[in-house]
Amino acid sequence: MYWIRKGGQDPASYLSKYAGRIPLVHLKDMAADAEGSFAEVGEGVLDWTAIFAAAEAGGAEWYIVEQDRWTRPSLEAAALSLRHLREWGKL
């Protein structure tokens, strides 16, 4: 989802456009900084409510979380993304 946004597109619209063809959704969030750095899922600017709605309407089966770089210890970053996914009922 990060790279779709980084490319200037809306992730939810992209998922809707290709509904039924995206069983695996790669979750990566974008920080609000000028560079569009990586952020823990749920800590950035992506609209996860819209993304999950479009993914589920399109038949997504799996969510895959990735974070290339972090500003906190890696396990803390992973735990934060996991916490958000649990809060949203995605696990």
Instruction: Map tokens 């899922």 to a residue.
Output: 41
pLDDT value, residue 71: 86
Average pLDDT over all residues of the chain: 96
Instruction: Map tokens 């939810």 to a residue.
Output: 12
pLDDT band per the 50, 70, 90 thresholds, residue 91:
confident
Cβ-count burial of 8 within 10 angstroms (0-12 exposed, 13-18 middle, 19+ buried)? exposed
Domain boundaries, the chain: 2-87
Q: pTM of this prediction?
A: 0.93
- pLDDT tens for each residue of 28-65: 999 999 999 999 999 999 999 999 999 999 999 999 99
pLDDT value, residue 6: 96
Q: CB neighbours of 28 closer than 8 A, spacing ≥ 6?
A: 1, 2, 3, 38, 41, 65, 66, 67, 68
Token pair for 46: 């992506």
